[in-house]
Chain A
Amino acid sequence: MHEAKIASLILQKASKQIEPYAKALRVQNIELAVGKFRNVDIESLRFAFNALRSDFSLLSEAVLDITEVDAHAYCAANLHEYLIDCKNNFACPFCGSGVGRVSSGQELEIRKIKLETEE
């Protein structure tokens, strides 16, 4: 339910990032990395983004490209690094201990903006 808020922040952050480009015509693409160990629903986010983008002049045709980032953890007992399979099990497949620290999968960031500018 917080996806609308996140979509609006993406648009605000992207607008801010392109401010220095005086010859900017329009943003074609925004590449967003979203970790799988985050409570962000991709479909709702896309829906909210498409509904809100027309409020931002240079972003009204921007396409949101989302890359999902796998979740990994270091296990608590031995610091084995493993893929957190959010479907079946959260424990370490090598030693059976639990998640010590999540090492990836918590990303929520813009990685690239594709901007069309005047010659």
Chain B
Amino acid sequence: MHNILDIHLTQKILEDNDQLALHNREHFDEEGITAFNFMSAPGAGKTTLIIELIKALKNQFACAVIEGDMVGELDTKRMKDADINAFQISTGKACHLDASMVARLLHEQSFDGTDILFLENVGNLVCPAEFALGEHVNVVLLSVSEGDDKPFKYPVIFQKCDAVVLTKCDLLPHVDFSIERAKSFLKDLNPDAAVFEVVAGKRPYSNNQFDQLVAWLSEKGKSFQK
């Protein structure tokens, strides 16, 4: 005869990642680093925007970047070509950065003296939302060519973030993207999120809020600085 035993418990599946994220966060806090997690679908303009942001912030803050990509070091190379301190994490088959990848890099590499650390996540609107890294601030980019319904279709990531950056606004005349509709989804889902309409570089757009975004990031940067 065999016995059947019911073991009742609450075993969180991602608790190891959450704990490591806390560990990373403590590490950042000790060093006075503000960590920003930049997430978006592939190609929404993360690398381009981070390069522009660092140009605007570098007089005030020492910046560094961790690049998460499944394959290759192309984005890290773009950063280095722009004279930015950048480190690559190759995630292999994983479609997102996780806390252990960041922890490993933090133990190998000193970020001493860094004020602002940008974590560029793997291009994906699904998986990165599940894996905390230890960041202080979450930023999601949505390029206007992706469609204004994306906050509605990917609610988890847009609900969790602190800011949404609508990128490539110079393309608005060419695509059916309603800023109002996107903002209305965001207001339902995440009324506290700051929303910025942005273009990278000198592309034409009359309501470019790049400077407001820089000011917002500086504000966050200062609040976690030692």
Cβ of B147 under 8 Å from chain A? no
Enumerate chain B residues within 8 angstroms of A52, measured Cβ to Cβ. none
Enumerate chain B residues within 8 angstroms of A5, measured Cβ to Cβ. 94
Report the number of A-B residue pairs with Cβ-Cβ less than 8 Å. 109
Q: Are A98 and B191 in contact (CB under 8 A)?
A: yes
CB under 8 Å from chain A, chain B span 1-26: 1-14, 16
Cβ of B121 under 8 Å from chain A? no
Q: A1-B95, A5-B94, A115-B6 are in contact. List 7 more A-B contacts (CB 8 A).
A: A2-B127, A9-B16, A10-B13, A86-B155, A90-B185, A108-B14, A118-B3
Bound Cα distance from A14 to B96, whole angstroms: 24
Query: Chain B: residues with CB nearer than 8 A to chain A?
Result: 1-14, 16, 94-96, 124, 126-127, 129-131, 152, 155-157, 159, 185, 187-192
Q: A71 — nearest CB in chain B belongs to which residue?
A: B155
Cβ of A117 under 8 Å from chain B? yes
Least distance between A30 CB and chain B CB atoms (Å): 10
Partner of A6, one of B7, B8, B13, B188: B13
Bound Cα distance from A87 to B58, whole angstroms: 43
Q: Are B13 and A110 in contact (CB under 8 A)?
A: yes
Least distance between A68 CB and chain B CB atoms (Å): 15
Interface residues on chain A, size class: 35 or more
Partner of B130, one of A2, A14, A112: A2
- 0 or 1 for each of A86-119: is its CB under 8 Å from B? (1 = yes): 1001110000011110100000111111111111
Bound Cα distance from A108 to B132, whole angstroms: 14
Bound Cα distance from A86 to B158, whole angstroms: 13
Q: Are A98 and B190 in contact (CB under 8 A)?
A: yes
Q: Are A98 and B188 in contact (CB under 8 A)?
A: yes
Known: A1-B126, A39-B127, A99-B188. A112 touches B9 (CB 8 A): yes
| 28 pairs, CB–CB < 8 Å, chain A vs chain B | A1-B126, A2-B95, A2-B127, A9-B16, A13-B11, A13-B13, A17-B9, A17-B11, A18-B7, A38-B130, A38-B156, A39-B127, A76-B191, A90-B189, A108-B12, A109-B12, A109-B13, A110-B9, A110-B11, A110-B13, A111-B9, A112-B6, A114-B7, A116-B3, A116-B4, A116-B5, A117-B2, A118-B3
